[in-house]
Amino acid sequence: MTETISSESRLKVYPSMDELPQEEQALIQAAQASALRAYAKYSQFQVGAALRLEDGKIITGNNQENACYPAGLCAERVAFFAAKSQYPELAIKAVAVVAKRAEDEIFRAASPCGSCRQVMSEYENNQEDPIQLYMMDAEGKIYESASIENLLPFKFSEASLGNT
């Protein structure tokens, strides 16, 4: 006998940024500004991430590429590692992720890669509140995930190690 278990990711979709509270709009704008500073020499794909800490500080990051391709790092991990290396005691409330091709004017839909979900999940597991995640598509619609866990079903975590 087999059974099927399933997990569903749910995203709330806002027709435009104007529908969001001011502080989330500011977060997305910070992510956009950061994307424009990306070092994306090889892919020409600029990604920006901006996260808000519990005290209101905004920390940004963008993708940093390398001639030795795998040595580069995604925008989300640059931002999360920057935040946690400077403010390890402050919880992360929300993160916005945006992307664009260097030759384009407009931002396009981009969802965090699996490795970045894993890294964000690690920090979410160590704080009380979930981390809200915002993404934007080419039409300017905003996608809100209530947590990182929502984007990482059947996750691997500290608990999986069996030593907690």
Where do contacts with ligand THU occur on this chain (CB under 6 A)? 40, 43, 45, 47, 63, 65, 72, 74-76, 112-113, 116
Hunting for tokens 């749910």 — which residue is that? 10
**Min dist. Cβ of residue 24 to ligand THU (A):** 19
> 5's torsion region: left (phi>0), alpha (psi -120 to 50) or beta?
beta
Residue 144 and residue 17 in contact, taking contact as beta carbons nearer than 8 Å: no
In the complex, what is the shortest distance from the CB of residue 112 to ligand THU, in angstroms, rounded to a whole number? Answer: 4
Of 12 and 41, CB closest to ligand THU = 41
Beta strands in 54-131 (DSSP E): 58-62, 92-101
Catalytic residue among 3, 24, 65, 76: 76
- CA pair distance 24, 19, nearest whole angstrom: 10
Tell me whether residue 47 or residue 58 sits nearer to ligand THU (CB atom). 47
Instruction: Work out how close the CB of 55 gets to ligand THU at its nearest, in angstroms, rounded to a whole number.
Output: 26
Assess contact for 100 and 106: CB atoms under 8 A: yes
Nearer to ligand THU, 45 or 143 (CB): 45
Catalytic residue check, 103: no
Pull the structure tokens for residue 89: 């005691």
Question: To the nearest whole angstrom, how small is the minimum distance from the Cβ of residue 67 to ligand THU?
Answer: 12
Tell me the C-alpha to C-alpha distance, in Å, between residue 147 and each of 18, 90, 109.
22, 17, 18
> Which of 124/128 has CB closer to ligand THU?
124
Instruction: For the chain, give the number of residues.
Output: 164
Catalytic residues: 76
